[in-house]
Amino acid sequence: MATTDQEVNELIKREYEHGFVTNIESDTFEPGLNEDVIARLSGIKKEPEWMLEWRLKAYRRWLEMDEPDWAHVGYPKIDYNSISYYSAPKRKEDMPQSLDEVDPELLKTYEKLGIPLHEREKLAGVAVDAVFDSVSVATTFKEPLAKAGVIFCSISEAIRDYPELVQKYLGTVVPHGDNFFAGLNSAVFSDGTFVYVPKGVRCPMELSTYFRINAANTGQFERTLIIADEGSYVSYLEGCTAPMRDENQLHAAVVELVALDDAQIKYSTVQNWYPGDEEGKGGIFNFVTKRGAAIGKNSKISWTQVETGSAVTWKYPSCVLRGENSVGEFYSVALTNNFQQADTGTKMIHLGKNTSSTIISKGISAGKSSNAYRGLVKFGPGAEGARNFTQCDSLLIGDRCGAHTFPYIESKNKSAIVEHEATTSKVSDEQMFLCRQRGIDPEQAVSMIVNGFCKEVFKELPMEFAVEAGKLLEVSLEGSVG
């Protein structure tokens, strides 16, 4: 095994490919948080009075809240006053109207990330609303979307242009006081995405946003709101990478989904933020609140996520199944390596009749990482005939890592049925032997076995993402078996 060990060590040392910094002057706030900062932020974004009020209310509420400490993760205490709450690319006065006007530095960054905006536009049929730090700088494919009546813009624009929609739904799924990080986000969210799909419209293409954290010391507070009106369908992709940094960066996003009668929302995430180096230094703190409200009859919300990045992840995409016959789904692959810590899972809250949900969670831990599934399945008294199936499997690679499962199951309705099962295993010697016997090298064999382990989740991803996800796992895992 000596050679393998050596190979392994080399591979483990492979550095983060996407670690680079784009040199663009940023217009950044001084670190610190108080009501003035929020007012200034709101002013810069030319927000209406009600929005500022909303932020301040959230801020006051947040001051009274405690940072949660129940998650199975450990990280140094965050000083929220040492973070800068706004950073925008400099030339904001003349926002680009088309791609040609976009700062070429930025375009290069996207190219390095493998998002050739101008080429992929038509080829892949994906409209990309790329968020660079905190302000949307380029949006494509707006026209065909507009033709279908779909609104796809930054949340700042939406606040200005569609205040009635924003006011009606913002904070209804994740209220101010929901949790510490959501409260913080509500107070200082910088930008994000807004999607509205009108009645009966099937969104003509997959919508996608690439996030990227850039300027040093800048917390990124995205806010996403997606509303699918009666009988509509939308598929939304989210993917992230971040440049290499030594200092921990905080990311506290909020995603709210609202599905009305017969509507369907499919939300897919590939997350590859900087996980810290092999010593566990640096890396992104990812404290995200994602929740969908299936308020309409026969509505459906589906979360699919592939998580390979971040130093610390705290994330529970959830579904509140309020409408009759509504459906919630959660498919997740979470991979941790080195010193990464992940505490992730989902909540399925069944309130309506005949609601059903499926949870498939695959956790892979390698190195000295810790990977926890934490889930809640809850049936209210009115959840007549509701149904849940949960499967969470863990795969351990190496003997210094941890895999944990904390499922909460609560039922108040006798006709509701819940099934939960979980297993933990490792890549077995027999599997490896079988592969090696057939001339497959150990790296490939592991990658193959892991891919098989995750297949149930990958098949839920849109094609382009599935390819990317497979690749990501390969890179993240290479060298972890010896």
Partner 1 sequence: MKPAPTLSTAFLHPAGQSLPEPLLALRKQRGTALVDMPLPTRKTENWKYSSKYLKLTDDMAISLPAEGKTGSSLAVPGYKVAFLNGVMMPEACEYPDLDGISIQSFSDLSDEDASDLADRLDSTLDNKAVQMARLNSARFEDGLLIRLKPDAVLDQPLFIVHEVTAEASGSAFPRIFVDAGRHSQITLVEEYISSGSAPVMVNTVTEFNVAEGANITSIRLNMEGENVQHIGSTGVVQQRSSRFESHTVGFGGPLRRHDLQVRLEGEGAECKLNGVVVTQGKQHYDNHTTIEHVAAHCNSEETYRNIAADQSHAVFNGRIHIHQDAQKSNADMNNKNLLLSNGAEIDTKPELEIYADDVKCAHGATIGQLDETSLFYLVSRGIGRREANVLLTMAFINELVEQIPVEAVRETVQGRLNHFFEQTFQEA
Instruction: Tell me the window of 205-213, 333-341, 403-411, 469-477 that interacts with partner 1 (CB under 8 A).
Output: 403-411
Count of CA atoms in the C-beta half-sphere (13 A) of 186: 27
Is 432 near partner 1 (CB under 8 A)?
Answer: no
Instruction: Tell me the window of 29-37, 42-50, 391-399, 449-457 that interacts with partner 1 (CB under 8 A).
Output: 391-399
Q: Residue 50 or 408: which CB sits closer to partner 1?
A: 408
Distance CA 171, CA 103 (A): 34
Tokens of 55: 């932020």
Q: Residue 81 or 428: which CB sits closer to partner 1?
A: 428
Q: Residue 401 Cβ, how far from partner 1 at the closest point, in Å?
A: 7
Query: How long, in residues, is the chain?
Result: 482
Distance CA 363, CA 344 (A): 9
Q: Residue 173 or 427: which CB sits closer to partner 1?
A: 427
Amino acid making up residue 406:
F
Is 37 near partner 1 (CB under 8 A)?
Answer: no
Candidates 406, 451, 462, 474: give the one binding partner 1 (CB under 8 A). Answer: 406
Candidates 13, 46, 168, 412: give the one binding partner 1 (CB under 8 A). Answer: 412
Q: Residue 419 Cβ, how far from partner 1 at the closest point, in Å?
A: 5
Is 28 near partner 1 (CB under 8 A)?
Answer: no
Is 445 near partner 1 (CB under 8 A)?
Answer: no
Task: Please provide residue 204's backbone torsions phi and psi, each rounded to the nearest 5 degrees.
Answer: -70, -10
User: What 3-state class would DSSP assign to 450?
Assistant: helix
CB atoms within 10 A of CB 6: 11
Is 405 near partner 1 (CB under 8 A)?
Answer: yes
Sequence-ordered list of residues with C-beta below 8 angstroms from that of 154, at least 6 positions apart, any chain: 129, 131, 135, 136, 139, 191, 192, 193, 194
Candidates 157, 404, 440, 448: give the one binding partner 1 (CB under 8 A). Answer: 404
Distances, alpha carbon 440 to alpha carbons 35, 433, 474, 478, in Å: 60, 10, 15, 14
Amino acid making up residue 354:
N
Pick from 289, 282, 334, 333: nearest CA to 311: 282
Q: Residue 190 Cβ, how far from partner 1 at the closest point, in Å?
A: 30
Do the beta carbons of residue 383 and residue 356 sit within 8 Å?
no
Tokens of 146: 């507009």
Amino acid making up residue 372:
A
Is 200 near partner 1 (CB under 8 A)?
Answer: no
Candidates 397, 445, 449, 469: give the one binding partner 1 (CB under 8 A). Answer: 397
Is 96 near partner 1 (CB under 8 A)?
Answer: no
Do the beta carbons of residue 89 and residue 26 sit within 8 Å?
yes
The burial of 121, by beta-carbon neighbours within 10 Å (0-12 exposed, 13-18 middle, 19 or more buried), is given as middle
Q: Residue 72 Cβ, how far from partner 1 at the closest point, in Å?
A: 8
Q: Residue 421 Cβ, how far from partner 1 at the closest point, in Å?
A: 5
Candidates 125, 200, 381, 452: give the one binding partner 1 (CB under 8 A). Answer: 381
Tokens of 341: 């810590």
Is 117 near partner 1 (CB under 8 A)?
Answer: no
Candidates 25, 36, 399, 430: give the one binding partner 1 (CB under 8 A). Answer: 399
Distance CA 323, CA 473 (A): 36
Is 433 near partner 1 (CB under 8 A)?
Answer: no
Is 423 near partner 1 (CB under 8 A)?
Answer: yes
Instruction: Tell me the window of 288-296, 321-329, 354-362, 413-421 that interacts with partner 1 (CB under 8 A).
Output: 413-421
Could you say which residues in the range 59-88 bind partner 1, by CB under 8 A? 66, 70
Is 449 near partner 1 (CB under 8 A)?
Answer: no
Candidates 304, 394, 447, 480: give the one binding partner 1 (CB under 8 A). Answer: 394
Distance CA 314, CA 181 (A): 10
Instruction: Tell me the window of 177-185, 248-256, 408-416, 468-476 that interacts with partner 1 (CB under 8 A).
Output: 408-416
Distance CA 350, CA 322 (A): 7
Q: Residue 282 or 407: which CB sits closer to partner 1?
A: 407
**For residues 238-259, b (16+ Cβ closer than 10 Å) or e, as one string?**
bbbbbbbbeebbbbbbbbbbbb
User: What 3-state class would DSSP assign to 192?
Assistant: strand
Candidates 168, 419, 433, 467: give the one binding partner 1 (CB under 8 A). Answer: 419
Residues that bind partner 1 (CB under 8 A): 66, 70, 379, 381, 394, 396-426
